[in-house]
Amino acid sequence: MRSIGAVNYCARRVPSNLLTWGREPDVCNGDAPHRSREMMKFSWDNYKRYAWGKNELRPLTRNGHIGNMFGGLRGASIIDSLDTLYIMGLTEEYNDAKEWVQTSLDLNSNGEASLFEVNIRYVGGLLAAYYLTGEEMYKNKVLELGEKLLPAFNTPTGIPRGVINLGSGTSWSWGWASAGSSILAEFGTLHLEFVHLSELSGNPVYTEKVMNIRKLLNKIEKPHGLYPNFLSPVSGNWVQHHVSIGGLGDSFYEYLIKSYLMSDKTDGEAKKMYYGAMEAIEANLVQKSPGGLTYMAEWRGGILDHKMGHLACFSGGMIGIGADDGAPEKRQHFLDLAAEITHTCHESYTRSATKLGPEAFRFDGGGEATATRLSDRYYILRPEVIESYMYMWRLTHDPKYREWGWEAVEALEQHCRVESGFSGIRDVYTMTASHDNMQQSFFLSETLKYLYLLFSDDDLLPLEDWVFNTEAHPLPVIRRSCAQDEATQDKTSSE
Ligand code: DMJ
């Protein structure tokens, strides 16, 4: 028997309810938790066999993929899997992963890395592994890595650039981002991890960096109260008026409400920004289709693009977890909106031949919740729809969310499982599979973890105690009472 939430953390005090790890799943849920655990083991075993130490598995060609998102860092699938293996009780596999981190994770890399991706996968993954297990090694590694990210903030405004060389500290903007701008979903998705880096190191610099981003966002004018996706790190002005709850914007909104929740509901500024943003989103982006489906359109300088990306489907869960803390009279409204968005995302799955959803679906050109462009028909094992099922299950216990999760399990098994792992597919509308030969690391950290949680009891990583970063790595709520205890202790010891 092991416990989950092993770190003795006063702010570092993780949840009081100690849970057995790898416990037998609830029999009422039948095969489901076993199945997602088996899918994890299968994905992991194949990664280990054919791609060990590389970033992802290529399951058809049976080799590893390195890519260019993490600079010289390796083992993205290992770091992303640590907490999933741990909570599923895949002990041997977890121990192999831990040993690799201990002996082979080399942080002295010199390549060009995405600040955002390194933060959500590596920093998030190592922090969660530390909080779950209490292994000091993870803490040492994550603090070493955190320090290497700091030079990205050396810009005239303190808004970090998107790409950083982890060796030299030089940073620059993505070539594709307009006019050297930084991306809202990238610089806006650092807060949770950076606050924990300050907690663990005792060094306020990380919190200062992210609070400075927030300060600037609060200061500048927002068109109709909306946050555009591109901002200049030099002038601190918006570069284009494109607003999206999907790619480029998404996790910025997610981190506002989660910052509030992770602060034990003390971060009033995050709360205000979240509900303010929600008001603007509802006024400008939320739409109802002729067929009665609620969706979030994209906004381009006042003109709506009636399209919703798979990425935007995380918003059902986000609006759900934010329902309780807005104005009391809006609680039911937010829960209804969360349910409607989740329903629409489910429709994007059920309207395809494979019962998996496309990368983007539209509400114009005659169809609803279906991809109209060939280039939007793919599915790369993304988690967002299942993520919303998990949150909505926890919030409502409506059995339909587990049924929908099970449909996704069956579709993944039928269309994405190949002989040596799981692969994305190129067209969700055809039964003749064309696989993309990539087992994304977020499949292990998010898709399978959210499925497992959907079919487990609510006291496995309860939402009152844990906040999931955008890569599904659980971070503990920083308890206000503990902060007070520590302040009293400090005072007493200095007297
Ligand atoms: C993940 O890396 C994270 O969820 C991120 O916020 C968005 N995209 C992928 C999964 O789709």
Q: Could you write out the three-class secondary structure of 369-422?
A: CECCCHHHCCECCCCHHHHHHHHHHHHHCCCHHHHHHHHHHHHHHHHHEECCEE
Q: Determine whether the annotation assigns residue 350 to a binding site.
A: no
Phi-psi region of 489 (alpha: psi -120 to 50; beta: other; left: phi over 0): alpha
Residue 391 in this model has a pLDDT that exceeds 80: yes
Helix extents (H) in 105-183: 115-117, 124-133, 136-149
Residue 475 in this model has a pLDDT that exceeds 80: yes
Atom 3 (ligand 1) nearest CA: 471
* pLDDT per residue as tens digits for the range 29-87: 567 778 999 999 999 999 999 999 999 999 999 999 999 999 999 999 999 999 999 99
Query: For position 209, what pLDDT does the model report?
Result: 98
Residue 4 in this model has a pLDDT that exceeds 80: no
Ligand 1, from 184, 311, 443: best to mutate by most atoms within 8 Å of Cβ? 311
> How far is ligand 1, taken at its centre, from the CA of residue 434, in Å?
23
Q: Alpha-carbon distance 130 to 14, whole Å?
A: 11
Atom 10 (ligand 1) nearest CA: 382
Q: Which of 80, 83, 112, 117 is catalytic?
A: 117
Q: Relative to the CA of 250, which ligand 1 atom is closest?
A: 6
- For the segment 286-301, the average pLDDT, to the nearest whole number, is 97
Q: Is 251 in the pocket of ligand 1 (CB under 6 A)?
A: yes
Q: Alpha-carbon distance 28 to 83, whole Å?
A: 25
Query: For position 366, what pLDDT does the model report?
Result: 84
Query: For position 365, what pLDDT does the model report?
Result: 82
How far lies 351's CA from each of 251, 252, 314, 333, in Å? 26, 29, 19, 27
Atom 8 (ligand 1) nearest CA: 311
**286-288 vs 294-296, strand pairing mode:** antiparallel
Structure confidence at residue 7 as a pLDDT band (50, 70, 90): low
Query: For position 16, what pLDDT does the model report?
Result: 34
Ligand 1, from 80, 382, 390: best to mutate by most atoms within 8 Å of Cβ? 382
Q: Alpha-carbon distance 280 to 286, whole Å?
A: 9
* pLDDT per residue as tens digits for the range 374-390: 999 999 999 999 999 99
> How far is ligand 1, taken at its centre, from the CA of residue 471, in Å?
6
Residue 271 in this model has a pLDDT that exceeds 90: yes
Q: Return mean pLDDT, the chain.
A: 93
Considering only CA atoms, give the Rg of the chain: 21
Ligand 1, from 191, 442, 447: best to mutate by most atoms within 8 Å of Cβ? 442
Q: Which of 254, 340, 359, 471 is catalytic?
A: 359
Q: Relative to the CA of 384, which ligand 1 atom is closest?
A: 11
> How far is ligand 1, taken at its centre, from the CA of residue 311, in Å?
7
Q: Is 382 in the pocket of ligand 1 (CB under 6 A)?
A: yes
56 in catalytic set: no
Query: For position 29, what pLDDT does the model report?
Result: 56
- For the segment 232-241, the average pLDDT, to the nearest whole number, is 96
Q: Is 141 in the pocket of ligand 1 (CB under 6 A)?
A: no
117 in catalytic set: yes
Q: Which of 454, 175, 379 is nearest to 463 (CA)?
A: 454
Q: Is 471 in the pocket of ligand 1 (CB under 6 A)?
A: yes
* pLDDT per residue as tens digits for the range 115-161: 999 999 999 999 999 999 999 999 999 999 999 999 999 999 999 99
Q: Is 70 in the pocket of ligand 1 (CB under 6 A)?
A: no
Q: Is 363 in the pocket of ligand 1 (CB under 6 A)?
A: no
Query: For position 176, what pLDDT does the model report?
Result: 92
Q: Relative to the CA of 382, which ligand 1 atom is closest?
A: 11
* pLDDT per residue as tens digits for the range 395-439: 999 999 999 999 999 999 999 999 999 999 999 999 998 999 999
Query: For position 389, what pLDDT does the model report?
Result: 98
Residue 495 in this model has a pLDDT that exceeds 80: no
490 in catalytic set: no
- For the segment 260-275, the average pLDDT, to the nearest whole number, is 98
Residue 263 in this model has a pLDDT that exceeds 90: yes
Q: Which of 186, 384, 436, 446 is catalytic?
A: 384
Residue 13 in this model has a pLDDT that exceeds 50: no
Residue 25 in this model has a pLDDT that exceeds 50: no
Contact, 377 vs 317, CB < 8 A?
no
Query: For position 6, what pLDDT does the model report?
Result: 56
3-state helix, strand, coil in the chain (%, to 5): 50, 10, 35
106 in catalytic set: no
Which of residues 33 and 267 earns the better pLDDT score? 267
Angle between helices 250-262 and 191-201 (to 10 degrees): 40
